Amino acid sequence: MGKDVFGERSSGVLLHVTSLPGPFGSGDVGPDAHRFVDFLASAGQRFWQMLPVSPPGAGDSPYDSASAFAGSPFLVSLELLAEDGLLEPSELAVSRRLEAGSRALYPASRRVRGRRLRSAFSRFRARAGWSGLLSRFSEENADWLPDYSLFRALHRAHGRVSWTRWDQALVRREPAALERARADLADEVALEVFVQYEFARQWARLREHAKERGVLLLGDVPMFVAHDSADVWTHQSLFRLSPNGERTAVAGVPPDYFSADGQLWGNPVYDWNALRSTAYGFWVSRLKRSLERFDALRLDHFIGFHRFWEVPATATSARDGHFVEGPGHDLFQVLEQRLGGLPFLAEDLGVVTDGVVRLREAFNLPGMRVLAFAFAGSYREYQPHRYPRRVVAYSGTHDNDTLVGWLTQFEREQDPLRQQSLRAERARALAYAGSDGHEAHWDLVRMLYASAADTVIVPLQDLLGLGSDARMNVPGTATGNWRYRTPASVFGPDLAERLAGLAETYERLPDGQRQRA
């Protein structure tokens, strides 16, 4: 896979694509994504880290997708479609309320984008050779696209109910039923292939632009997949399911920092014995696909590869679960051989046992350190002066409060003892950073940049000093998440100069990416 992307001092910014500005209610991979790459290059940043770019699922979550392989239709740029002559300029005129604000407007954005994608498809079909283009694209992605496009068409045809409630012949994937559905829904299937074709073309443009500017794209691969997905419908034997396709066990995490009751995710758990019998073909194909889009990948919930928290499907709390052994070394040996290398970051947060550490170290994968955990009492290994080189250090992740929100949480706490504890935590953090509290977020970010960690990544919200209203996700909650958006005005020279100054001072400025005056 070439050079170790985490093997030298560098830094980056965490911002999901939907959080970008733009005129259609949520960000996409069009002009504003290209401008963000330019901003990162001018700021001396090496990495742009994103959340999963697959179709979002329940609660608009990018971690609950209808496919581990497909790109989100709502990340396709309407502006780029217009440049290609597939939309009229008048179709880009939408309500001003969809323009960049502090929150993504997902329902309205989906309606606007969905209608215009259909219009673009109609014009695409009027072009000579359109069918051949889509057929070749589908053949090139034969391991997932035909099943995914049919799944999406069937999902709409059945009123978007779970695939387990379809006709039994379709649930069982009887060949005659699949062929009949593919013929009956040919236009809808072709629409889905077209959307993925355009996503792939636009993504390739973005990645090439990033390459030219010296910016690496860091993706995110969820450990589990959604039950109501093309993946599970297509590969039922690889998951713990009943004969009618329902889950018999679901994934989650035990009680931890984020939730006193743990988290009940609801994803079906893998049948790792069945996966092993296929030489982990599903995972090999999945990661190959992801590495066609990204330079490196964050493996979400890495501890699940060592052991995962399994909960009976009938349980109402994650407390009712237990740990089950994962595939461990066996999987990563196969991946290393089939992929030619492992450009992965291990998200090793949570209950980290010696077995998790041994698995990560056996394949030389960097782990994570999160500054927001560093001053809570028992998390001393998260303090920057203790970081080893081979880690990626964060101020916080998409699951954390922002730095400013974290530092001021005592103001919102009603319990006196908890409030006292949070005040003490804040005091320890400010003392550690030598901060007077005026710009505590920058003082803490400076501590990260000064650390021995080879790679530092900071969410944009922390660079902007935003409070809890800008938080991306609150684990254990089903609504109101994933909605943060930023205005275009923040990507100016002042922020770029300040970031580049930190990168230069602490030897994180990539060679050739930006020449300082």
**Three-state DSSP class for residue 12:** strand
The residue segments making up the domain with residue 386 are 368-472
Give the model's confidence band at 512: pLDDT under 50 very low, under 70 low, under 90 confident, else very high.
low
Active site residue 300: yes
- Whether residue 251 contacts residue 304, with contact meaning beta carbons closer than 8 Å, is answered with yes
pLDDT of res. 452? 97
pLDDT of res. 516? 43
Residue 23 belongs to some domain of the structure: no
Of 220, 228, 310, 399, which is the active-site residue? Answer: 399
Other C-beta atoms lying within 10 Å of the C-beta of residue 205: 16
pLDDT of res. 101? 73
Give the model's confidence band at 253: pLDDT under 50 very low, under 70 low, under 90 confident, else very high.
confident
Is 322 in the same domain as 443?
no
Residue 257 has pLDDT above 90, yes or no: no
pLDDT of res. 476? 77
- Mean pLDDT within 432-439: 95
Residue 477: which residues within 8 A CB-CB, separation 6 or more? none
Residue 182 belongs to some domain of the structure: no
Instruction: Read off the amino acid at residue 229.
Output: S
Residue 335, both tokens = 């991946």
Q: What is the mean pLDDT of the chain?
A: 94
Give the model's confidence band at 163: pLDDT under 50 very low, under 70 low, under 90 confident, else very high.
very high
pLDDT of res. 514? 42
Is 269 in the same domain as 335?
yes
| Between 435 and 512, the higher pLDDT residue | 435
Give the model's confidence band at 27: pLDDT under 50 very low, under 70 low, under 90 confident, else very high.
very high
First vs last C-alpha separation in the chain: 34
User: Each residue of 357-395: pLDDT tens digit?
Assistant: 999 999 999 999 999 899 987 667 899 999 999 999 999
Is 272 in the same domain as 336?
yes
Is 325 in the same domain as 372?
no
Instruction: Answer with the one of 319, 345, 366 that is the final residue of a domain.
Output: 366
Residue 308 belongs to some domain of the structure: yes
Supply the pTM of this predicted model. Answer: 0.96
Is 349 in the same domain as 448?
no
Is 274 in the same domain as 383?
no
Instruction: Answer with the one of 340, 366, 392 that is the final residue of a domain.
Output: 366
Residue 1 has pLDDT above 60, yes or no: no
pLDDT of res. 12? 98
Residue 406 has pLDDT above 70, yes or no: yes
**Three-state DSSP class for residue 59:** helix
Is 290 in the same domain as 359?
yes
Residue 172 belongs to some domain of the structure: no
pLDDT of res. 256? 73
Residue 81 has pLDDT above 70, yes or no: yes
* Residue 334 to residue 339: CA distance in whole angstroms: 8
Residue 97 belongs to some domain of the structure: no
- Mean pLDDT within 286-309: 97
pLDDT of res. 116? 97
Beta strand ranges found along 291-398 (DSSP E):
296-299, 307-312, 322-325, 344-346, 367-370, 391-394
- Mean pLDDT within 440-455: 97
Residue 475 has pLDDT above 90, yes or no: no
Q: What's the chain's length in residues? A: 517
Residue 473 has pLDDT above 90, yes or no: yes
User: Each residue of 260-297: pLDDT tens digit?
Assistant: 788 888 999 999 999 999 999 999 999 999 999 999 99
For residue 369, the cross-strand partners are: 393
Closest to 486 in 3D by CA, of 31, 32, 77: 32
Residue 484 belongs to some domain of the structure: no
Is 417 in the same domain as 459?
yes
Is 245 in the same domain as 350?
yes
Is 430 in the same domain as 359?
no
For helices 31-42 and 186-212, the axis angle rounded to 10 degrees is 20
Per-residue CA distances from 245 to 283, 369, 449 (Å) = 21, 39, 49
Residue 183 belongs to some domain of the structure: no
Beta strand ranges found along 191-295 (DSSP E):
216-221, 249-253, 263-268
DSSP classification of residue 382: G
Is 325 in the same domain as 383?
no
Which single residue is written with the structure tokens 């994803």? 267
* Residue 508 to residue 503: CA distance in whole angstroms: 4
Residue 151 has pLDDT above 70, yes or no: yes
Work out how many domains the chain is built from and give that number. 2
Of 231, 295, 347, 348, which is the active-site residue? Answer: 347
User: Each residue of 338-351: pLDDT tens digit?
Assistant: 999 999 999 998 88
Active site residue 295: no
- Whether residue 163 contacts residue 245, with contact meaning beta carbons closer than 8 Å, is answered with yes
Instruction: Read off the amino acid at residue 134.
Output: L
- Whether residue 4 contacts residue 464, with contact meaning beta carbons closer than 8 Å, is answered with no
Is 335 in the same domain as 439?
no
DSSP secondary structure letters along 320-340 = G-EEEE--THHHHHHHHHHHS
Residue 2 has pLDDT above 70, yes or no: no
Of 300, 348, 425, 462, which is the active-site residue? Answer: 300
Active site residue 399: yes
Residue 461 belongs to some domain of the structure: yes
Instruction: Answer with the one of 366, 388, 404 that is the final residue of a domain.
Output: 366
